[in-house]
Amino acid sequence: MMDFHTSIPLWIAILIIFPLIAAIIYLYRRIDTPLRRSEKLLLVFLRGISISLVLFCLIEPAVTYQKRSFQKAELAILIDDSQSMSIPDMDGRKSRSSIVKELLLRNSSFIDELNKRFNVQLYRFSSQLSVLLDEADRSIINQLKSDGNATDIESAIKSVSDELKGRPTAGIILVSDGANNFGKDPINTSKHLEIPIFTVGVGSRETPKDVAILNVRADPIAYVGHQYPIDATFTSNGYHDGDVRISLIEGRTVVDTLTVPLDSKGHERTVQFNHKFNREGVFNMKVSASILPGESSVQNNSYEFVVKVMKTKINVLYIEGALRWEYAFSNRALRADPDVEVTSLIMDEHGYYPVSDRRSFPSEVELSRYDVIIIGDVKADLLKGHEVSSLVKYVEEKGGALLFLGGNRSLGREGVGRTALSKLLPMEIGEEGAGVDRGTHNITLTEQGYNHPVTKLSENDDENSAIWRSLPPLTKLYTSSFIKAGAVVLIRTQTGKPVILFHRYGRGIVMLCATDELWKWAFQGHPFGIDDSTYKKLLSRMVRFLTYAKDKADRMTVITDKRSYYKGERVRISAYVYDETYQPIKDAQVSSRIQAPNGSYADIVFLSQGDGKFVAEYIPTNHGQFKVTVKAFKDNRLLCESSTYLFVEDVIMELQNARLDEDLLKEIASVSGGKYYYIKEAVSLLDSIDEPDGSVTYSVQKSLWDNMFVISAIILSLTLEWIYRKRKGLA
Amino acid sequence: MDIQEEEGVGMKLGTLLSTFCLTLVIACLSFGQSEGKFVIARLKYGGGGDWYNGPTQITNLLKGLRERTNIDAGTKQEIVQLTDKKLYSYPFIYMTGHGNVAFSDEEVKALRQYLTRGGFLWANDDYGMDKSFRREMKKVFPDKELVEVPFDHPIYHCFYDFPNGLPKIHEHDGKTPKGYAIFHEGRIVVFYDYESDIGNGLEDPEVYNDPPEKRELALKMAINIVVYALTH
């Protein structure tokens, strides 16, 4: 079917041509030279033709029609070019990459057959995707270097599928060891691509002999003279008997060694060290497993981390106005922490309880000696005016830290909302007290809670999320009409109500738990399958965070998503920037200088995420302790700065857990409608790839005026008219 | 031919309304009683002993807590078994009786878990419970003993002072009253009063006609036990 169209409407062209023809006729009728009628008609005709053709050109007529052509379907071959492909675990110490080159790329029958049937495009990928083209000085094989520092399968297949959109595609061949360690879940993306993916697995199928330290859990802060527990998780594969020695190293000194029997099944196991530091400082620590004969990789035999050792215990004053389970469990948890010294002050309208550690309210000087003051369920009238003032001063002027553990009395009508303490709270509580929301409230981490030192109960993000999801729901919340600007919510309900939040006030910091049911996380956790260590850890972290946050009542907080990284692993750095009144600043210019252990440094710029949060990414290529110094500017004026440390292990991320992952590759193939082959059988996939209908229908537009025929006709008619006029004496 | 009368609309509405009102009343009662308040649950156990003895003990103790302390105590006792899921809604449980106490294997395991997770059991020998109670507690904690609590222990001084330990409320065998406890991580998790009978001292005055000073001592010691559980 054809469509005819012009640049201006046809009726306008008709409106122009008829008057022009009429004018020509009129002019030729009026000439003095005697001409026969037929001669005049000829001249009118010739002039009319030329003018009509010019007008024809001016309206730019064109036709559009459909055309169908047949072409070969596209086939993309993605070859993993990351560092794990250099592992020599094939056929007597050949590298994975060399096997790929040998069996596929140098195998002309394989490639030729594919080229006959499809339009084949080769790519290499690791953390990024790039096309492989045969060049005059560098063949495709020589362009594969196995030097990528990460493996991001999802990004590779998504990029290729975007390129192939709109073209008939036979499929994607993915050649990899499946050691995916970066980016999104490739299985989920493969499911929705509508392109079959044929995966080819490369790597030894035998369980390599290896002992690996997978993870170390240890508090970032320790105290002189106190037990410091360190949990190290490790696996062993390929060894059926014998032992491995796992050592704890402080600096360069081995301080403890445990001998553990080997388990050939690769189960993860945890050992615990209990160490004591005898001086303050920042210590580089390492957990290291002895190297066993025949290990495939020795770079994963150790795990390094940093710990800051402080001199004194954290002093906590716990003011309670109503004995309740929230007090019982929190008091118990804090007193079980060897680095925390709790002083209780339990009172009612009759005075102080005999069981209370103190029988009088501390003076201002005494208050300032406490690192954290916890206020429980205290009615307003239990605190005298000067006691309230001293608490406010403790936070506002002295930079102290308060933790409010919500209760009926403290947050009710007769609570702190009626006192100056209300201005310290991170949410608005008026004289009428907080609202009470009863129901079943399942809790979740907020975006800031994911990486916050209080709520990051595991270095593994998935495990951390699972811990929080597994906690019993709350049945009572204290609510407010609004959260104060600058408040950071760490935990909320799934309907968005804040549960644990904090903000800076004056020089200090105030945290609020808007429920009196946290104790259920200690006591009721068991039927849900968790023990009370989560609750104890949370309380300890709250107290520690409040202690350190108050020590540097900075207007900037800098945190990294983890404490330890591998070489080549992306580090995500977040900086939270506040003004003098501790409101978040959205329009600061934030940058960082990251100093590597070898003295070199990198300058990076942060991007604003809104609400005072700025983020940046950095990929370390050295190992050791890095110092990250972040500065915020506005109008070229320095607003604030802060620093933190991160540790990079002398292990290349790509070489950690780099075993052939056939399960992943099989799943990718299965969900996408493809098939999996081990590299030795890869040639068989030639029979599995269907050739889809390669015909393509497309539109063609052809202009009718832009050609030699029309131009020639215009010139011819004008020329003939001129010749005839000359002969008749009219020119 | 049987003729069946259909229930009229009025009858149906009446039934529905009554059920609704009854449900509402029950809901209000339970809501008003225990929502967020300190509540003591009485332990219902097997073995034939009269676990239910002394129905006014707990309610009188709760009243005393409301009047004399800052504890926001409820008004009625709850009843719970060791295998109930709601056990973990009550970190403080009370048991008493004259007769045999017997826990199933499941209950033994449940009680151990409950106590080590932070729960507290106050056991009151009503006269006759001693032998079986000790036997059953040995199953719960084979590795721990019921040890006599020294007079200087905080449980005797945390609210009221008992310099000589437990008060003697009822005669029983005429022996000196003793307080025994099982400790876990330094905390009393089971407190057992023997030859004292604090529980009976909490009963309404007309039940045993105990002298007021005995009843006062019983209430004070019971308050101490609760205050201890909430502060340790």
Max mean pLDDT range (A26-35, A250-259, A303-312): A250-259
**Per-residue model confidence (pLDDT) at position B26:** 40
B78–chain A nearest CA distance, Å: 17
> In B, which residues are within 8 Å of A333 by CB distance?
none
Instruction: For residue B227, give the nearest of A355, A438, A524 by CB distance.
Output: A355
Q: Is A352 in CB contact (< 8 Å) with chain B? A: no
Question: Packing angle between helix B57-68 and helix B212-231, nearest 10 degrees?
Answer: 70
Q: Are A650 and A567 in contact (CB under 8 A)?
A: yes
Instruction: State percent of chain A over pLDDT 90.
Output: 41
A203–chain B nearest CA distance, Å: 48
Q: In the predicted model, what is the mean pLDDT of residues A124-132?
A: 89
pLDDT score of B29 more than 70: no
- The set of long-range contacts for B135-138, using a CB threshold of 8 Å and a minimum separation of 24, is B135/B101, B136/B101, B136/B102, B136/B103, B136/B108, B137/B182, B137/B190, B137/B192
> In B, which residues are within 8 Å of A357 by CB distance?
none
Q: In the predicted model, what is the mean pLDDT of residues A11-21?
A: 85
Whole-number average pLDDT of chain A? 87
A543: amino acid identity, one letter: V
A589: amino acid identity, one letter: Q
Q: Is A331 in CB contact (< 8 Å) with chain B? A: yes
pLDDT digits (tens, 9 = 90+) for A146-172: 888 889 999 999 999 999 888 889 999
For residue A317, which of A390, A227, A267 has the smallest C-alpha distance? A390
Q: In the predicted model, what is the mean pLDDT of residues A51-78?
A: 85
Pairing of strands A613-618, A607-610: antiparallel
- Three-state SS for A72? coil
Contact criterion met (CB < 8 Å) for A522 and B229? no
> In A, which residues are within 8 Å of B159 by CB distance?
353-355
C-alpha R_g of chain B = 21
pLDDT score of A31 more than 90: no
Pinpoint the alpha helices (H) of A74-219: 96-100, 108-117, 140-143, 153-163, 186-191
> In B, which residues are within 8 Å of A408 by CB distance?
36, 72
Query: Over the range A428-447, which residues count as b (16 or more CB within 10 Å of their CB) and which as e?
Result: ebeeebbeebeeebebbbbe
Contact criterion met (CB < 8 Å) for B88 and A321? no
**Per-residue model confidence (pLDDT) at position A505:** 87
Contact criterion met (CB < 8 Å) for A346 and B231? yes
B127–chain A nearest CA distance, Å: 31
- Three-state SS for A171? strand
Given CA atoms A425, A427, A433, A439 in this order, what sign does their dihedral have?
negative
State which residue of chain B sits closest to A526, comparing Cα positions: B117
ipTM entry: 0.87
Contact criterion met (CB < 8 Å) for A523 and B118? yes
pLDDT score of B54 more than 90: yes
Instruction: For residue B227, give the nearest of A323, A329, A476 by CB distance.
Output: A323
**What is the Cα–Cα distance from A60 to A81, expressed in whole angstroms?**
53
Contact criterion met (CB < 8 Å) for B117 and A348? no
Contact criterion met (CB < 8 Å) for B231 and A344? yes
B169–chain A nearest CA distance, Å: 24
State which residue of chain B sits closest to A533, comparing Cα positions: B117
| Cβ–Cβ pairs < 8 A, chains A and B | 77
Pairing of strands A227-237, A351-352: unpaired
Outline where DSSP puts E strands in A238-389.
Answer: 243-250, 253-261, 269-276, 281-289, 302-310, 314-320, 340-348, 351-352, 372-375
pTM: 0.61
Q: Which CA distances in Å does B163 have to B138, B154, B158, B182?
A: 29, 10, 11, 21
B113–chain A nearest CA distance, Å: 9
Confidence of residue A194 (pLDDT cuts 50, 70, 90): confident
Cβ partners under 8 Å of residue A510, min gap 6: A395, A401, A402, A403, A404, A424, A425, A426, A502, A503, A504
A358, burial (CB in 10 Å: exposed 0-12, middle 13-18, buried 19+): middle
**Per-residue model confidence (pLDDT) at position B40:** 97
**Per-residue model confidence (pLDDT) at position B2:** 37
* DSSP H or E run through A83: none
B14: amino acid identity, one letter: G
Contact criterion met (CB < 8 Å) for B229 and A438? no
**Per-residue model confidence (pLDDT) at position A289:** 95
Confidence of residue B34 (pLDDT cuts 50, 70, 90): low
> In B, which residues are within 8 Å of A524 by CB distance?
88-89
B191–chain A nearest CA distance, Å: 17
pLDDT score of A622 more than 80: yes
> In A, which residues are within 8 Å of B91 by CB distance?
325, 328, 519, 523
**Per-residue model confidence (pLDDT) at position A243:** 93
Instruction: For residue A322, give the nearest of B72, B119, B159 by CB distance.
Output: B72
**Per-residue model confidence (pLDDT) at position A513:** 97
pLDDT digits (tens, 9 = 90+) for B89-126: 999 999 999 999 999 999 999 999 999 999 999 999 99
Outline where DSSP puts E strands in A597-655.
Answer: 601-605, 607-610, 613-618, 624-634, 637-652
Contact criterion met (CB < 8 Å) for A332 and B118? yes
**What is the Cα–Cα distance from A376 to A612, expressed in whole angstroms?**
31
Q: Is A344 in CB contact (< 8 Å) with chain B? A: yes
For residue A665, which of A200, A159, A204, A205 has the smallest C-alpha distance? A200
Contact criterion met (CB < 8 Å) for B117 and A522? yes
Contact criterion met (CB < 8 Å) for A321 and B185? no
Whole-number average pLDDT of chain B? 88
Q: Which two tokens stand for residue A653?
A: 């991320």
List phi, psi (to 5°) of A244: -130, 140
Contact criterion met (CB < 8 Å) for A331 and B231? yes
Q: In the predicted model, what is the mean pLDDT of residues A454-483?
A: 87
pLDDT score of A553 more than 60: no
For residue A511, which of A538, A471, A532 has the smallest C-alpha distance? A538
List phi, psi (to 5°) of A245: -95, 125
- Measured from the Cβ of residue A626, the count of other Cβ atoms closer than 10 Å reads 22
A463–chain B nearest CA distance, Å: 23
**Per-residue model confidence (pLDDT) at position B33:** 40
Q: Are B39 and B74 in contact (CB under 8 A)?
A: yes
Contact criterion met (CB < 8 Å) for A329 and B119? no
Q: In the predicted model, what is the mean pLDDT of residues B195-224?
A: 95
Cα-Cα-Cα-Cα dihedral of A379, A383, A384, A385, to 10°?
Answer: -80
Confidence of residue B19 (pLDDT cuts 50, 70, 90): very low
Q: Are A175 and A99 in contact (CB under 8 A)?
A: no
A200–chain B nearest CA distance, Å: 51
> Which of the pair, A104 or B88, is modelled with greater confidence?
B88
Q: In the predicted model, what is the mean pLDDT of residues A495-520?
A: 92
**Per-residue model confidence (pLDDT) at position A350:** 86
Q: Is A633 in CB contact (< 8 Å) with chain B? A: no
**Per-residue model confidence (pLDDT) at position B107:** 97
Q: Which two tokens stand for residue B201?
A: 């001292």
Contact criterion met (CB < 8 Å) for A332 and B159? no
Q: Which CA distances in Å does A511 have to A400, A427, A448, A502?
A: 11, 10, 15, 4
Q: Are A440 and A475 in contact (CB under 8 A)?
A: yes
Confidence of residue A695 (pLDDT cuts 50, 70, 90): low
**Per-residue model confidence (pLDDT) at position B35:** 66
**Per-residue model confidence (pLDDT) at position A651:** 63
**Per-residue model confidence (pLDDT) at position A127:** 86
> In A, which residues are within 8 Å of B117 by CB distance?
522-523, 525-526, 531-532
Max mean pLDDT range (A5-19, A318-332, B22-36): A318-332
Q: Which two tokens stand for residue B70?
A: 């800052």
B231–chain A nearest CA distance, Å: 5
Specify the DSSP class assigned to residue A416.
G
Q: Is A532 in CB contact (< 8 Å) with chain B? A: yes
